[in-house]
Chains A and B, each alone.
Chain A
Amino acid sequence: GEDVEQSLFLSVREGDSSVINCTYTDSSSTYLYWYKQEPGAGLQLLTYIFSNMDMKQDQRLTVLLNKKDKHLSLRIADTQTGDSAIYFCAEITDKLIFGTGTRLQVFP
């Protein structure tokens, strides 16, 4: 079945790196995504990775994909207070399936 899991909370100090993890079940997913949801806002696409890639870097963001273990991670370098939000991973097969969301809290 379709199931995308994430840890619920992550708390980091400003300036440190954050790593948000995600596991998915459908090996036929072609793309995997990371979305950010700030309070009272919709979803903002942060980055995505094609399923035949292992890694993608975009400024402070690094996405790692372990297709064998169906594990996806998002690393945010030099985390800032403005990064505080809920982060959703998502996989796409015939539709987008979202993870449970990880609430990232950044403290000074």
Chain B
Amino acid sequence: SAVISQKPSRDICQRGTSLTIQCQVDSQVTMMFWYRQQPGQSLTLIATANQGSEATYESGFVIDKFPISRPNLTFSTLTVSNMSPEDSSIYLCSVEGRGTTEAFFGQGTRLTVV
């Protein structure tokens, strides 16, 4: 299995500001994924982050709003830009397990925008 650490675990932010969420994995992984879980809802994939290339965004998500970095095989960041209350969600980082199709998740970042 993979151990994933996310920081911060929670934050309360003013509208119009930006927050960068960090995801650190204890092993090298090819693909990292960022999900959003809006209150009371399921998980929605925001983007797939591959090392050495631009992230691939799902429909409804754009790079200007959710820029992603992937500087190496163990680390990624997701920035939530120009936040509004509608961005209040849990943001989760995920990786695929080696040699399996399991997906492992960080503990999530609970974001509240006021």
A contacts, CB < 8 Å to B:
4, 30-31, 33, 35, 40-45, 48, 88, 92, 95-96, 98-101
Q: Which residues of B contact A43 (CB under 8 A)?
A: 43, 92, 94, 105
Which residues on the B side are within 8 Å of A40 (C-beta)? 110
What residues of chain A lie closer than 8 Å to B42, measured between beta carbons?
Answer: 4, 88, 98-101
Contact B43 A88 (CB under 8 A): yes
Chain B interface, number of residues (Cβ within 8 angstroms): 21
**CB pairs A–B below 8 angstroms (11 shown):** A35-B105, A40-B110, A42-B92, A42-B107, A45-B104, A48-B102, A88-B42, A95-B58, A96-B45, A96-B103, A99-B42
Enumerate chain B interface residues (CB-CB to A < 8 A).
4, 6, 33, 41-45, 48, 58, 92, 94, 101-108, 110
